[in-house]
Homo-oligomer: A and B are copies of this chain.
Amino acid sequence: MKISKFFFVSQKSIKEEYQSKFLERLLRGGFIQQESTGIYTWLPLGLKVLKKTENIISEELNKIGDIQVQLPFLQSADLWKQSKRYESYGKEMLRVSDRHDRELIIPPTCEEQMCSLFFSKQVSYRDMNKVLYQIHWKFRDELRPRNGLMRGREFLMQDAYSFFTNEEAAKQNYLDHYNAYLSIFKKLNLDKLHVITASSGEIGGDLSHEFVIESEEGDSNAFVKNVSIDYVKNLQELKNISGDFEKQIENTTEKRVVEIAHIFYYGTVYSEKMSYEFINKEGKKNKFYGGCFGIGVSRLVAILSTKKYWPISVAPFSIHLLSINEKYQNICDKIYEKLIKFYDVIVDDRSNLSYGEKMQEADLIGAPYRIIIGEFMELYREGNLINKFSSIEDIYDILNKEI
């Protein structure tokens, strides 16, 4: 991509009200733009990061057999009335009347709809032991939206819902989701990641964990274990690495954290609440065992934006190419034509900006690799000089190994 052809809207400074660690870089670098309170437009840079993040999540969930669907953004209020959450959910759920005065809602969560979908026809034991998920926009009318995408009103969420014939299989699937989520976060290079035993809250059930990231600007406190978390084989192993929100347990330290994902096992709660059952081998009705598993996708983008360089897995561009002055622009453009065939590269081809200005904007974009064309060609990885080269072929060799 040539910057001159791109829609890149950087900002030199931002208003004081936006000065949150999670918002500043996204606004200054032109990744998102505020449309109204807690509602954002995704600019080309931000949309690229968001889509790559979404793809990583899909890939890992598909690997463990989850099946993707998409519920509508606007849904009938009927099911929410049936589950009695229509009244209890309060003002965070947006309610709309259509032209025929039928009540629609914009769902902040989708247990009702997903159960209704799964049980829309008679379900036999053969149809069970599946997990449906979606990655779709949701809306929560937060009283005080803050920190940009961290607590926005319109947000992208991955939510998965499981439907199992028995407790053991459902709990094994709970562990599969823990492990898949960990794979996702490893691909995103997230550090200061912890897992915390959580209360199941209003959803109910007896097993629940949150993935959290340590952050001084976090909105809750947790006692985190001083271990780096890893894949688990059983619930005991998961218990060994989990911290707690309320209780100070052994080898934990209290930290300010932000939540990035939440997994619940709710057993037969939704089966009972909504009267959904499957037909077993003997032709009798049985309750199903389920859980739900969610990641705040747009929130992840906010967290990743706090690092100077994006991880290569979601970077809007892998390589940022620029020249130190006009004299080298021609060779820079030629190198671009070669690189673009193999890499997601952006070249700064503007003649009205100084080298210093271009470097500042390259910092805002945050591509993990940078190539600077001058007397020598310099290749940087995350701000560190890998080497100086006199031939571009040598750079190709290194890039081939690295990317």
Binding site for B on A (CB under 8 A): 4-7, 9, 11, 33, 35-37, 39-44, 47, 65, 67-76, 78, 91-92, 94, 96, 98-99, 102, 104, 106, 113, 117-118, 120-121, 126, 130, 132, 137, 139, 141, 143, 153-154, 350, 352
State how many angstroms separate the Cβ of A35 from the closest Cβ of chain B: 5
Residues of B within 8 A of A6 (CB): 67
State the CA gap A96–B36 with chains docked (Å): 14
Partner of A47, one of B70, B91, B120: B70
State the CA gap A139–B153 with chains docked (Å): 19
State the CA gap A152–B141 with chains docked (Å): 26
Contact yes or no, A69 B98, CB < 8 A: no
Residues of B within 8 A of A132 (CB): 7
Residues of B within 8 A of A65 (CB): 5
Contact yes or no, A69 B96, CB < 8 A: no
Partner of A141, one of B70, B98, B350: B98
Partner of A71, one of B7, B41, B104: B41
- Report 28 cross-chain contacts, Cβ distance below 8 Å, ordered by A residue: A5-B65, A7-B67, A35-B71, A35-B75, A36-B75, A36-B78, A37-B102, A39-B72, A39-B76, A40-B72, A41-B69, A41-B70, A41-B71, A41-B72, A41-B113, A42-B70, A44-B67, A44-B68, A47-B68, A73-B73, A73-B137, A73-B139, A73-B154, A74-B94, A74-B139, A92-B99, A96-B96, A126-B350
